[in-house]
């Protein structure tokens, strides 16, 4: 019908309809173009993701080989410290650093942020962190040399015997450690403390300052302001507030132990040596670093008439050897239906100090050679109750390696740095119980009465609870250095301010800026982040609580099934749950690994408090009965100048200390 027959209104309506249809056709056409383009881009992304997956498989093989070469060279150096092995390690480190820079460039050429495969994306994200290899070769060489120098100083440091000043070949392990374990002479202990800190600490101050400069440069090249933020990123944190929260949970228990021990030390040595309200002199606590106090348990035990749970004599009487101790630890894991160590472990580990006169790092350590077959421990074992536990701890690291050995190399690590340490310690918690020691024949049958349980908890508290402030402050100190708050002239002053404020200890003699006491601790000299140990001493009790419930060994609020008496030995249910978590390595964020075992997604000190609840109640009553002062007043030992103290006020240093749980 001709359009002239339509009314004007109808014509307008038809015109509008035709216009809309035309526009819709245009939109459809444009949309089709975009759809085609999007499909093309999706295809490109899929192709790139497939290429990325192939690249990651190839990179994994390359990294496995390079890590194997580097760990082999590190092992050679640490087990035989010579100029040749040091140079070999240095040159290989530089060579691999250059290789890593090249692979990093290729890694970053992929648009991995757009990948849909979250696992592949996680691998690329981890490889996007170049580490210290990001440094130019000359700066990387300076960093490696500074750390090697500190390690060598620590490993070669010796002191003279207090009673025979011509005998000057005493190393930290086992000689100095043995002095602090056995001597009750304050003057001998003071001599050993001062000489060790002079030999291993002061000499490394220059190298530490150099190391801080180079390490901070590497942090910046990896996208962090300082090494402090870099280290914190391993816990998926941006600051240390959560660590402070954990410390504030356990601080009341620590203060009760501190007050009780100070009272016992004062009774033993007199008020002229140990004050009634001040910090405790660090050389009197049975350990060169005062990080654990279990060696003074013999004269601070709540109920001294009760027998001590120490199996040193039994180990000797039953003809144990270092090898037999390691075999016992291996059997513990196999009883959980977990993996035994491979034959290569027995062939290549160093489990006793060689008697050929070589210098080596005796500090116990477990090694993964990243080939899925070679795992070793280096430990200068002696037949003591402490080493029986340490051996199980180190074998815990090996078990972790065995469980995640089939993962890509980038995932062969603990879920966060504290997990690895916690796994070893959670086994040691079972091993240390009288129940387990009786099962393996190292302890005679005896009653598990309240007094014996308090003694056992106290002994464990001298190891586990008193360690927490030391572990916490060691990295708070380094964070402050890395952030430029603590300058080289203030190293020792700020270090002791932290030790007094958080730990309640003081040096046995005045200290100056020429001293550098932090480097007398292996982990500072070896560039090992230490907050992992603090975290591990918290989360191991979360792990322990979960495993004990699975093993039917712990029921909350049941005095017949205390958490401190739990032994998971031979529990396959506990072993399965532990293995499930270990097999994840670092393939998932740590809260997911935590949840697999504990049902929780956060770090929490409630497990610590449950474990030590009977001891905490006993200490509160005992300290009130004896009138002990809880906490500590300022030290009278000089370790900061007046100028340094005024500068700390200007920096707000004491306010920061209070924020992080200090006195």
Catalytic positions, please? 394, 523
Question: How far, CA to CA in Å, does 639 sit from each of 47, 391, 497?
Answer: 63, 37, 8
How far apart are alpha carbons 592 and 550 in whole angstroms? 19
Question: How far, CA to CA in Å, does 132 sit from each of 4, 98, 100, 136, 227?
Answer: 84, 11, 10, 9, 11
Q: Which residue has the tokens 């992304």?
A: 45
> Taking a C-beta distance cutoff of 8 angstroms, is the pair 498, 490 a contact?
no
> In the chain, how long is the greatest CA-to-CA distance?
128
Q: List the structure tokens of 490.
A: 């203030």
168: nearest Cα among 189, 192, 148: 192
224: nearest Cα among 209, 239, 244: 239
Q: Dihedral, CA atoms, 141, 142, 148, 152, nearest 10 degrees?
A: 140
258 is in an annotated binding site: no
How many C-alpha atoms does 61 have within 13 Å on its Cβ side? 5
The H-assigned helical ranges of 379-530 are 385-403, 417-431, 434-439, 450-464, 467-482, 491-498, 522-525
Cis peptide before 174 (omega within 30 of 0): yes
235 is in an annotated binding site: yes
122 is in an annotated binding site: no
How far apart are alpha carbons 156 and 360 in whole angstroms? 8
3-class SS at 183? Answer: coil
How far apart are alpha carbons 476 and 497 in whole angstroms? 11
How far apart are alpha carbons 344 and 475 in whole angstroms? 36
**Residue 346, Cβ density class (10 Å: 0-12 exposed, 13-18 middle, ≥19 buried):** middle
H/E run at residue 663: none
Buried/exposed 470-504: b ≥16 CB within 10 Å, e otherwise: bbbbbbbbbbbbbeebbeeebbbbbbbbbbbbbbb
How far apart are alpha carbons 62 and 610 in whole angstroms? 47
Q: Which residue has the tokens 């109750």?
A: 385
How many C-alpha atoms does 112 have within 13 Å on its Cβ side? 23
How many C-alpha atoms does 83 have within 13 Å on its Cβ side? 0
616 is in an annotated binding site: no
How far apart are alpha carbons 336 and 529 in whole angstroms? 31
Q: Which residue has the tokens 């908890």?
A: 457
Q: Dihedral, CA atoms, 73, 157, 352, 177, nearest 10 degrees?
A: -140
H/E run at residue 568: none
How far apart are alpha carbons 663 and 657 in whole angstroms? 7
> Taking a C-beta distance cutoff of 8 angstroms, is the pair 426, 540 a contact?
yes
How far apart are alpha carbons 351 and 388 in whole angstroms? 12
532 is in an annotated binding site: yes
Specify binding-site residues for Zn(2+). Answer: 393, 397, 421
Specify binding-site residues. Answer: 235, 393, 397, 421, 532
Specify binding-site residues for chloride. Answer: 235, 532
């Amino acid at each position: 019908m001709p359009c002239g027959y339509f009314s004007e209104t109808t014509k307008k309506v038809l015109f509008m309809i035709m216009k809309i249809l035309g526009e819709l056709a245009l939109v459809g056409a444009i949309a089709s173009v975009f759809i085609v383009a999007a499909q093309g881009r999706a295809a490109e992304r899929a192709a790139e993701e497939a290429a990325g997956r192939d690249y990651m498989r190839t990179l994994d093989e390359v990294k496995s080989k390079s890590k194997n070469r580097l760990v082999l060279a590190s092992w050679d150096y640490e087990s035989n410290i010579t100029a040749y092995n040091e140079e070999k390690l240095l040159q290989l480190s530089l060579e691999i650093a250059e290789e890593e820079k090249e692979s990093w460039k290729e890694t970053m050429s992929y648009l991995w942020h757009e990948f849909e495969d979250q696992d592949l994306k996680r691998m690329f994200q981890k490889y996007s962190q170049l580490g210290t290899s990001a440094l130019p070769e000359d700066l990387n060489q300076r960093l490696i040399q500074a750390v090697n120098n500190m390690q060598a100083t620590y490993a070669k440091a010796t002191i003279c015997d207090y009673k025979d000043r011509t005998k000057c070949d005493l190393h930290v392990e086992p000689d100095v450690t043995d002095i602090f374990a056995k001597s009750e002479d304050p003057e001998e202990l003071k001599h050993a403390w001062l000489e060790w800190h002079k030999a291993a600490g002061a000499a490394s101050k220059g190298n530490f300052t150099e190391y801080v400069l180079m390490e901070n440069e590497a942090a910046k090249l990896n996208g962090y302001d300082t090494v402090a933020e870099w280290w914190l990123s391993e816990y998926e944190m941006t600051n240390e507030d959560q660590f402070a929260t954990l410390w504030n949970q356990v601080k009341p228990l620590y203060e009760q132990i501190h007050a009780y021990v100070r009272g016992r030390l004062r009774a033993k040595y007199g008020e002229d040596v140990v004050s009634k309200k001040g910090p405790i002199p660090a050389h009197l606590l049975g350990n060169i670093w005062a990080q654990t106090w279990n060696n003074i348990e013999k004269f601070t035990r709540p109920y001294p008439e009760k027998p001590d749970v120490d199996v040193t004599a039994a180990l000797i009487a039953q003809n144990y050897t270092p090898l037999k101790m390691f075999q016992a630890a291996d059997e513990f894991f196999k009883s959980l239906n977990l993996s035994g160590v491979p034959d290569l472990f027995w062939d290549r580990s160093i489990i006793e100090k060689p008697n050929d006169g070589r210098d080596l790092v005796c500090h116990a350590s477990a090694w993964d050679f990243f080939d899925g077959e070679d795992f070793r421990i280096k430990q200068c074992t002696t037949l003591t109750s402490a080493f029986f536990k340490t051996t199980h701890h180190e074998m815990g690291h090996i078990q972790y390696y065995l469980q995640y050995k089939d993962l890509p190399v980038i995932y062969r690590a603990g879920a966060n740095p504290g997990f690895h340490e916690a796994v070893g310690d959670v086994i040691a918690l079972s091993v240390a119980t009288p129940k387990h020691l009786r099962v393996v024949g190292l302890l005679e049958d005896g009653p598990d009465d309240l007094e014996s349980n308090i003694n056992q908890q106290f002994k464990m508290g001298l190891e586990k609870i008193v360690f927490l402030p030391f572990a916490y402050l060691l990295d708070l100190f380094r964070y402050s250095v890395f952030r430029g708050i603590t300058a080289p002239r203030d190293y020792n002053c700020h270090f002791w301010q932290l030790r007094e404020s958080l730990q309640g200890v003081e040096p046995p003699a005045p200290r100056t800026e020429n001293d550098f006491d932090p480097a007398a601790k292996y982990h500072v000299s070896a560039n090992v982040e230490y907050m992992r140990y603090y975290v591990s001493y918290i989360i191991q009790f979360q792990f322990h609580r979960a495993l004990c419930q699975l093993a039917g060994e712990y029921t909350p609020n049941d005095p017949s099934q205390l958490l401190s008496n739990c032994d998971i030995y031979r529990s396959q249910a506990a072993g399965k749950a532990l293995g499930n978590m270990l097999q994840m390595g670092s393939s998932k964020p740590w809260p997911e690994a935590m949840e697999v075992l504990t049902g929780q997604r956060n770090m929490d000190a409630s497990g610590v408090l449950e474990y030590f609840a009977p001891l905490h109640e006993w200490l509160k009553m005992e300290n009130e009965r004896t009138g002990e002062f809880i906490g500590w007043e300022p030290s009278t030992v000089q370790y900061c100048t007046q100028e340094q103290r005024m500068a700390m006020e200007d920096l707000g240093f004491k306010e920061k200390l209070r924020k992080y749980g200090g006195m």
